[in-house]
Each structure stands twice: as C-alpha cells, then as structure tokens.
Amino acid sequence: MTARPRHPSHPPIAALVRGSALLALLLVAVGCGEQSGGGAARLDSHVLGSQAGGFALDLPAIWAGRYDALDSITAPASGLQRQLTVRFKKSDSTLVVDEPLLVIRVFTNDGWGAVPPDSAGAWWGTVIARDGARTMTVKPSPANPLAQGTPDALAYDSLMLSVLARPMRASLRAPGR
C-alpha cells in the first residue's frame, strides 16, 4: 500500500477508517490465537483439501463453513492439472460470491517452469508447495467485492486477513490417496 500525500482539501478519512478497521480485525484475529504463558501466536486450523487432486491447504478455523469450493479448471494452461476455486458463502448460506476468495492450482513442475517468471504470480499466484512432480500455487482475491460496511463484507475481510496474516501451509501427495 502506498502512502498518499495529505491535502487539506482532500483528507483520506475514509481510507484511514477502513484501514484502521482492517488493522483492528487483524490484531483481534492474531490476539485470539495467542497462547497463554507467552507462547507464539497460533490460529486453529481448518484443512481444505482435494483427495482426488492430492493436495491440502491449512486455513484458519474461522474459514469452516464460510466458503464453497469448485474443483474445475476454468482457464486451461500447459501443465495445469487441478484448480480449486474457493468462493465466499454469505451469511444466509444460500448465496455465494462469484469472485473467489482464493484460487488454488496444481501444475506439473515442467508446466510451471514454462510459465514466464515475470507473469507467474500475476496470472497464477504464489508457489506455496512443491514436490518432485508438482507445484501448488494460491492466488488470493485482490479486493472485497461486497458492499462496504455490511456484515458479509466484514466477514469476508476477516477471512482474508486471517489467512494472509500467517504463512500459508500446504501439502502435496499422490492424487487419489
């Protein structure tokens, strides 16, 4: 995030309030996972995985029941074996936001190696796991698509802050096992 110059005629109050709210949510999320006795901060886990795809992603516990996952490749690419699109489930549990929270992709190592390094992250996400045959990437949502200030928008922000506030942990194994 870049700092904007302050102009008396255009104070960035809305941006400060929004940023303060997000920071407060982040601090609450981290603080709630703190262990007694001065231990390291810890958030409980919820595992999102695909047995057929042979991968798993460790998510914060608050993600449980708040998303829908679609296992389907929407944009074929060389070496792309699997794509899991994770979409936010609104509080009424019947509506799902079209814009994904996360997109998880599994490539063959050769397929990933053929992706130009200068566009790999922008197009496909960040590498979070790799084994001898495959590379797993995750691409988080660039922005919250929900109306600002609504309970669903706050929940969406909480999910994103909780997952981005800690290192992503993932695993790969043989598909179908």
Q: What is the pLDDT of residue 108?
A: 96
Length of the chain as a residue count: 177
Which among 144, 137, 159, 154 has a CA at the least distance from the CA of 65? 159
Q: What is the pLDDT of residue 153?
A: 95
Which residues, 6 or more positions from 134, have their beta carbon under 8 angstroms from its beta carbon? 54, 81, 106, 107, 108, 109, 172
Q: What is the pLDDT of residue 174?
A: 81
Q: Cα-flanking dihedrals φ and ψ of residue 26, to 5°?
A: -65, -45
Beta bridge partners of 71: 84
Q: What is the pLDDT of residue 72?
A: 92
Q: How many angstroms separate the first and last alpha carbons of the chain? A: 42
Burial code (b: 16+ CB inside 10 Å, e: under 16) for 137-169 equals bbbebeebebeeeeebebbbbbbbbbbebbebe
Which residues, 6 or more positions from 58, have their beta carbon under 8 angstroms from its beta carbon? 45, 46, 47, 168, 169, 170
* pTM listed for this prediction: 0.73
CB 101 within 8 A of CB 159: yes
Regions of the chain where pLDDT drops below 50 = 1-43
DSSP 34: B
- Residue 150: both structure tokens together: 């609504």
CB 67 within 8 A of CB 101: yes
